[in-house]
Amino acid sequence: MPGYEVIGAEERQQIMEVLATGVLFRYEFADQRQGVYKVREFEQAFADYTGAAHAQAVTSGTAALKVALRALGVGPGDEVITQGFTFVATWEAILEVGAIPVFAEIDQTLTMDPDDLSRKITDKTACIVPVHMLGAAADIEKIVAIAGQAGIPVLEDSAQAAGCRIGGQHVGTFGACGTFSFDPVKTLTTGEGGMIITNDKGLWQDMSEYHDHGHDHAPNPGGRGGEGRRFIGDNYRMMELQGAIGLAQLAKLDDMVATQRAHKTRLKEALAALPGVSFRHQPDEAGDSATFLAFSLGEEKHRVRVAEVLRDQGAPAICFADNTWHFYPRWEHLLAGSTKAARGWPFAEPGGRRRVVYAPDALPKSVELMKRTLVYPIQLRMSEERLQQMEQAIGKAASL
């Protein structure tokens, strides 16, 4: 899964081109930088790769969500529907812009259940954020259709899904915009960093300005314009070194995805021997980025026994039902409304009245599914010996 496994001469060469200029900032210093604009080049290359008209680089996948939500006009008084199986950053960003996260169930895609989405829409719903979780696509065409009927924009959280497609169309291009993460364990990594893609030029312009304190960026990617700011912004600028690494990593992305797919196919064939096993539904298996392999058993008790054997045989799999970073019932700080704000924001109004209370048992369908599910991260450098060890471990589990 992680692109750090293949960092090499290409990344070093790109970095050296930046260091030769002495300019690490993505804007200005035209005379000194010798025409080198790595972040802007990375944005254009990523837009071309995904088939989007525009791309905006930022400091992280979390920042990408915040900038996109701001550009879409989301704020206090709004509700944003997302799913109960995602990384905490998805709902942290929603709370950060002042909106209230509303959590939908997941289905066999391990992503947003479109039927539950329909039930959760209200007149306060300002945005829908499906997450292409574990590198595979949500049922995004159905989600976008439901959102379109309600007149609500869709922001695709594609943090884990660079290289994932449906019918040849890259995820992140179905909704109003899509966000990506390039943190240390993503297939395409810049250490930290993120990207937003969109086909809406006006939305891109708003994101471009917001992520740099509201500077108008009229001559982007050169100077920062005439300082005719239209609104307040914040600072989520990607630096040139990250852009340089991103360019080198993007050139390797298709090869990384192909390697992941080969490893995943081999392990999936071994797992097919498990009694009662099923694999997550994907809208387009051929477009899978193959960063993870998820499989479910018929009963939780069977999943527990299988997990124990795999662990004892040195090939442990992840049960996200027990994971504290990615699953709604395990987010104790969200459920408790824990915050450092003295007056209780964002869970309470300044006067102390609670804005929202989250019930631990709010997503029973998701809990039942996740308790039966195990997941293998797919590495790039999996030796023949390691693959054989995992196959043997799976074989032991299949003989229970």
Instruction: Answer yes or no: do 207 and 263 share one domain.
Output: no
Instruction: Answer yes or no: do 49 and 170 share one domain.
Output: yes
Our answer to whether residue 186 is catalytic in this structure is yes
Q: Is residue 141 part of a domain?
A: yes
Instruction: Answer yes or no: do 248 and 266 share one domain.
Output: no
Q: Is residue 332 part of a domain?
A: no
Residue with tokens 């995904």: 50
Q: Is residue 331 part of a domain?
A: no
Q: Is residue 353 part of a domain?
A: no
Instruction: Answer yes or no: do 59 and 207 share one domain.
Output: yes
Instruction: Answer yes or no: do 238 and 276 share one domain.
Output: no
Quickly list DSSP for 263-329: HHHHHHHHHTTSTT-EE---S-GGG---SEEEEE-SSHHHHHHHHHHHHHTT---B-GGG-TTTBGG
What pTM was estimated for this model as a whole? 0.97
Instruction: Answer yes or no: do 203 and 290 share one domain.
Output: no
Query: Which residue of the set 38, 66, 186, 252 is catalytic?
Result: 186
The list of the chain residues with pLDDT below 50 reads 221
When divided into structural domains, the chain yields a total of 2
Output the pLDDT for position 352. Answer: 86
Q: Is residue 303 part of a domain?
A: yes
Report the SS3 class of residue 169: strand
Report the SS3 class of residue 63: helix
Query: Which range of residues forms the domain containing residue 21?
Result: 3-252
- End-of-domain residue from the set 220, 252, 284: 252
In this structure, what CATH number is given to the domain that contains residue 13?
Answer: 3.40.640.10
- End-of-domain residue from the set 252, 277, 302: 252
- End-of-domain residue from the set 252, 282, 302: 252
State phi, psi for 101 to the nearest 5 degrees.
-70, 135
Output the pLDDT for position 228. Answer: 75
Query: pLDDT digits over 146-197, tens only?
Result: 999 999 999 999 999 999 999 999 999 999 999 999 999 999 999 999 999 9
Output the pLDDT for position 219. Answer: 62
Q: Is residue 351 part of a domain?
A: no
Cβ 235 vs Cβ 211: under 8 Å? yes
